[in-house]
Structure 1
Amino acid sequence: MQRQDFIAQFGGIFEHSPFIAERAFDAGLIDEPLTADSVHDGMSAIFRTASVAERLGVLRAHPDLAGKLAIAGELTEESRNEQAGAGLDRLSEAEHLRFTELNTNYTEKFGFPFIIAVKGLTKDDILSAFETRIANSQDAEFSTACMQVEKIARLRLEAMLPAEG
């Protein structure tokens, strides 16, 4: 696969952060045949070695769960589908208010939105994780959010590629 084709296809795997795909390709970490495992391994290696500021940028590129971008219909297709799959597009007014409050408090505390791989979770599971994780330290939550970003990337790749070659 050519570099520009790889970046066009996989540049959004890490939310609005094509530099991850670019660096993985340029570093020779992407081998054919492409599999979800191999592409995830290569891209995650780049994400893990990115500077703290770059990883923070990736975290900040993620939308709030059930937030204003979702309401305005401005999520990426992947994020929209992921949030809808967890029922976040069908919240009651009270649930929406709770998510808004948690999003605000979390972002004020940590400086990035709450990130969780929502596939297979219910809105109640997500609220429970939200309420637990908001008590984390800055370092613990940065680490947890980065792990969740990698999990989201894996799920997105699994929807696009075979698991193994």
Structure 2
Amino acid sequence: MNKKIIAAMSIVGALLITACGGGESPDTKSATSAAPQTETPAAPATGSYDPNRGEGKFSESNVTIGALDAAMAGKGKAIAETKCFSCHKTTGEKLVGPGWKGVTERHKPYWIMNFITNPDPMIDKDPKVQAQLEICLVRMPNQNLTDEDARNIVEFMRQNDGAK
């Protein structure tokens, strides 16, 4: 009985090896392995992504920051309590995502707004976000925030960082 099982497993193993490319000629293998490389999209050119601005509709020209607006910060805190605090803390401590302490000192307000309203393209392109992803291991989900929500959250982040 054991000899029959060993013989059957040997046949199955030989079939698997053959099915996984053992029967192709070297020329066929080269052509086959070259095809997926040409279909894989190229990495974005470094000049097409601005890590200081991020990717999205917000920029220096359409996000104006002045003195801290406490009413906006209050609205931002309420939104953050619902959408953000399950993954982020207001301290520097990591929860699921990184802590928020000092975020407005590390990034421009329009970069933050682009990231929280448009996280997927920035996760794919931004070197700092990719480095953070390696630490946190979880991609930030798109919370479908409005422009106003994003601006209010930035104001709350500014308040958290001691802006006056």
**TM-score in terms of structure 2 length:** 0.23
Q: Which has the larger radius of gyration?
A: 2
